[in-house]
Structure 1
Amino acid sequence: MASLSVPPVPTDPRRDAVDLHRAFKGLGCDSTTVIAILAHRDASQRALIQHHYMAIYHQDLLHRLASELSGNHKKAVLLWVLDPATRDAAILHQALNGDVTDMRAATEVVCSRTPSQMRVVRQAYLSRFGGHLEQHVAARASGDHQRLLLAYLRCPRYEGPEADPAAGARDARELYRAGERRLGTDERTFIRIFSERSAAHMASVAAAYHHMYDRSLEQAVKSETSGNFGFGLLTIIRCAESPAKYFAKVLHKAMKGLGTNDTALMRVVTTRAEVDMQYIKAEYHRSYKRSLADAVHAETSGNYRTFLLSLVGRDR
């Protein structure tokens, strides 16, 4: 369930475009108006606003926002105004080609999306950045991690909720034989099963593994693999079992300790606000005994804080 709050009566995108332009005029930017509009419009509404802004003012709204805003507030808004597929493509491009390569961020996006979502993301990546996502992944990743990501990008997987318990038990047995039962690990078997099976099936495999061997599949992955390869496998299995729990943990890690990982924070908030943020908030509260809104409020400030809290939504 999304946390995004939009007006009950559809707004006029042309009026929104005019109001945004007025917010940009004069000394400084009226960020309150920018947030009030953009943080309360869904993807289709934001696209229409951008269309009308270009038609009226002959200027790209993203470019104008980039010139008017600053800091993390600017970064978060610029991510948010993109459509979901282009946003994922932008996150992947920055992670793979930015000043600092962030393979964890790239792995998270690839391994937490459905095959149909990734098909659109790959098209958006090529259109926006003029390169093939698979080629950039192959250039930045290596070894089993590279093989896992490329297989996950290329394999067409079933996306429905059905799973065959017997088939799940067979895969659990095969993973046990490829890992904990033998000396060394058969990584190819892990890559094949994790990349070719649906999320529902992987959840069934995890349940069967725990029942058969009195040990979680996640524990087995942690003991048998390491580094980015292990992180990719864990991302797949955790998102298969509970995407909300997975992203709640990402958010908690981003905000715990000294300093805040703002890149991870804005990545999760902007990509999940229209998907399942209400479930993530519930998991966050259950796991960490604190509301997500309180945590975001404590770790951020200014317009950046106001914008993120507008997307996260108030506690209910």
Structure 2
Amino acid sequence: MSTLSVPPNLVSPRQDATDLYKAFKGFGCDSSTVVNILAHRDATQRSLIQQEYRTMYSEELTTRLSKELSGNLKKAMLLWVLDPAGRDATLVREALSGGVIDLRAATEVLCSRTPTQIQIIKQTYLAKFGAYLEHDIQYQTSGDHQKLLLSFIGIVRYEGLEVDPTIVAKDAKDLYKAGEKKLGTDEKVFIRIFSERSSAHLAAVAASYHNMYGSLEKAVKGETSGLFEFALLTILRCAENPAKYFAKILRKSMKGLGTNDTMLVRVVVSRTEIDMQYIKAEYQKKYKKALAAAIHSETSGHYRTFLLALVGANH
């Protein structure tokens, strides 16, 4: 459920390209016009606007945006104008090879995407950066975290809702035996089940585990640590309720002193056209505050206007 609001009577992509060009001309950039146009166009329209801009002005719109905007608005806008797979590939590439290596960000993006999305991200990653995603993961990660990520992005999982209760019960039992029941942990079992099973199946395993032994999430927290734990929890929480997972990440980005804008931008921009309505509902339910109100108090200027346009009004 997207929160993107697109005007009922759209002007042509050519007209948008012309209006953007005008907003860039002269002294200083008319950022509010740029936000007004791009924050209210869907992925297809944004792609058409970029094609028109390239044709008319022999320049990439992204190049121009990069010159004209600054700070967090620039960061958010440059991600927003990308197509979803290009955006995810860029987020992961920056997290794995940017100035600051951010393995949690790379893990969050990959472990929260569907098998179909992951296949397209891998192809886009290679086309865009001339590198294999698997190679970058191998280079930057290690141990069980690495094994889990490589297995998770390497296996094309079933995406339907049907589950086999017999296999579900067996998986729950295997996880119990590999973790809470024994001294030490058999990580291989966790990696196999978490990377090979569909989301629906994993959610059913968590429910079955709960009935027999208690919380699977608690077991993961008790038996594993660090980035391996983070990856397992991301996979599990996104299998059970992705909107709740992202509401939590958004809360984390705005909690305490200062705002983690990179995290805030990543989630808002990448979930707006997927499930932001559900994320807003979960946020409201869990934190008794509207997501838009939280964003409003943590941001300012055109950056604030842009994010609020993406997440939509408080309802």
Report the TM-score, using the length of structure 2 for normalisation.
Answer: 0.99
Match of 1:148 in 2: 148
CA distance in 2, matches of 1:277, 1:166: 34
The amino acid across from 1:198 in the alignment is S
Alpha-carbon offset, residue 202 of structure 1:
0.3
Helix, strand or coil at the partner of 2:210: helix
Alpha-carbon offset, residue 276 of structure 1:
0.3
Match of 2:268 in 1: 269
Alpha-carbon offset, residue 11 of structure 1:
3.2
CA distance in 2, matches of 1:309, 1:74: 15
Match of 1:164 in 2: 164
Alpha-carbon offset, residue 99 of structure 1:
1.1
Match of 1:294 in 2: 293
Structure 2 gaps of 5+ residues are: none
Helix, strand or coil at the partner of 2:137: helix
CA distance in 1, matches of 2:10, 2:65: 23
What do the CA deviations read for 1:26-79 (whole angstroms, capped 9, x no partner)? 111111110111000010000000000000000000000000000000000000
Match of 2:278 in 1: 279
Alpha-carbon offset, residue 196 of structure 1:
0.2
Matches within 5 A, 1:35-184: 35-184=35-184
CA distance in 2, matches of 1:291, 1:302: 19
The amino acid across from 2:136 in the alignment is H
CA distance in 2, matches of 1:302, 1:63: 22
CA distance in 2, matches of 1:230, 1:167: 23
Alpha-carbon offset, residue 163 of structure 1:
1.6
Helix, strand or coil at the partner of 1:33: helix
Alpha-carbon offset, residue 9 of structure 1:
3.0
What do the CA deviations read for 1:161-208 (whole angstroms, capped 9, x no partner)? 222223211100000000000010000000000000000000000000
What do the CA deviations read for 1:127-152 (whole angstroms, capped 9, x no partner)? 11110100000100100000000000
Q: Which moved more, 1:143-152 or 1:159-168?
A: 159-168
The amino acid across from 2:266 in the alignment is R
CA distance in 1, matches of 2:124, 2:9: 31
Report the TM-score, using the length of structure 1 for normalisation.
Answer: 0.99
CA distance in 1, matches of 2:268, 2:144: 30
Match of 1:12 in 2: 12
Alpha-carbon offset, residue 315 of structure 1:
1.1
The amino acid across from 1:99 in the alignment is G
CA distance in 1, matches of 2:260, 2:173: 38
Q: How many residues end up aligned between the 2 structures?
A: 315
Helix, strand or coil at the partner of 2:118: helix
What do the CA deviations read for 1:243-293 (whole angstroms, capped 9, x no partner)? 000000000000000010000000000000000000000000000000000
Match of 1:30 in 2: 30
Alpha-carbon offset, residue 10 of structure 1:
3.9
Match of 1:303 in 2: 302
Alpha-carbon offset, residue 7 of structure 1:
1.4
Helix, strand or coil at the partner of 1:16: helix
